[in-house]
A = this chain, B = another copy of it.
Amino acid sequence: MLTERQLFILRVLIDDYIKHVEPVGSRTISKREDITYSPATIRNELADLEDLGFLEKTHTSSGRIPSEKGYRFYVDHLLPSLSMKESEIGHSELLFTEKVQEAEALFDQSAKILSDLTNYTSVVLGPNALDMKLKHMQIIPISSQVAVAIFVTNTGHVENRQIVLPDTIEPSELEKLVNILNERLAGVRLIELNTRIQKELSAVFKKHLKDYQNMGVFLDQLLLWSKKEKLFYGGKTNMLSQPEFRDLDKVRPLLDFLETRDLMEKLVSSTEKGLTIRIGTENEHEAMKNCSVINASYTMHGKHIGTISLIGPTRMEYQKVISLLDSLSKEMTNRLNDFSN
């Protein structure tokens, strides 16, 4: 268990390091007004904190920097009480200068705002369109073989894909199919359409459609979804201005990581509501080992549907950033729910 003094010194040190990005020595700490101990005393405490794994040295005679464990402890126990954050709320309303009409624009702007304000990189993971409910679908022939299938969701989102029409299918049959789907499956989540058909509609199909056999293959083609979350970026190059990445060989993997869709999706996805902080290797990817990722979820009708995230160096301004992310995600939630009333 840490003593009060150790807690205090640890916090002061991390605060200082976050601010100045340079190893902090006993002298620097002792210079603070609210410190009454001598450098020598502090040195002893620092040595202890290092033994406990909260601090590290860059070389034998350097000052200390926080270890990953140190940051974790800082975030969990030392963050100046978050009540301050209330003072920041309300700002974010002002931030949306342009009126945003559609969800996509909201996500895009949120990412930009967040990265501008923090100078880190931000990412908004859009809602998975496949979780939205079917409002209406339609198949529009382009040529004799090719058609476009269109699915409109209750949120006004449009999914579309090109499909190949089997020769065997007759236009009137196709029309019947579409009618049945619209009548029976409105309100069902896109992703569930196929299973719902399997379970509930085979009888209906048999009754109304001639060539039920071939139809099965066609339906699979029609309703085979691939992931459809969208990513919105802000400040992709902000990493370059972080002192710890002022080295090409260090940023390169990072920037490459940012460009890799599936890695980013994984990084930024979170099933939990609220705020998650992952520090350094907690991100479980080499390229992110010197970064922290903060995910905040936004909701619709109380349900988690996506996240807004911030990616920065492990030495992040956690305090500022957490409150910002918190209020911004709430603001997003509000606006999002305003759309659909």
Residues of A within 8 A of B (CB): 101-102, 135-136, 138, 140, 142-143, 146, 148, 150, 152, 154-156, 158, 160-162, 236-237, 240-241, 246-248, 251-252, 255-256, 259, 340
Residue of B nearest to A161 (CB): B102
**Interface pairs (30), CB distance under 8 Å:** A101-B162, A102-B161, A135-B142, A136-B140, A138-B138, A140-B152, A142-B152, A142-B154, A142-B155, A143-B340, A146-B156, A148-B156, A150-B150, A150-B152, A156-B162, A158-B158, A158-B160, A160-B160, A236-B255, A236-B259, A237-B252, A237-B255, A240-B248, A240-B251, A240-B252, A240-B255, A241-B252, A247-B248, A248-B251, A255-B255
- Tell me which residues across on chain B come within 8 A of A246, comparing CB atoms: 248
- CA A152 – CA B162 in complex, angstroms? 11
Copies in the complex: 2
Q: How far is the CA of A247 from the CA of B247 in the complex (A)?
A: 8
The 8 nearest A-B residue pairs measured at CB: A158-B160, A142-B156, A237-B255, A136-B140, A156-B162, A140-B152, A148-B156, A240-B252
Residues on B with C-beta less than 8 A from A148 are 152, 156, 158
Q: Closest B residue to A254 by CB, please name it.
A: B237
State the CA gap A93–B160 with chains docked (Å): 28
Q: How far is the CB of A287 from chain B (nearest CB, A)?
A: 12
From the candidates B155, B158, B162, name the one contacting A150 in the complex (CB within 8 A).
B158
Separation of A307 and B337 alpha carbons in the complex (Å): 40
B residues less than 8 Å from A240 (CB atoms): 248, 251-252, 255
A153 to chain B: closest CB distance in Å? 9
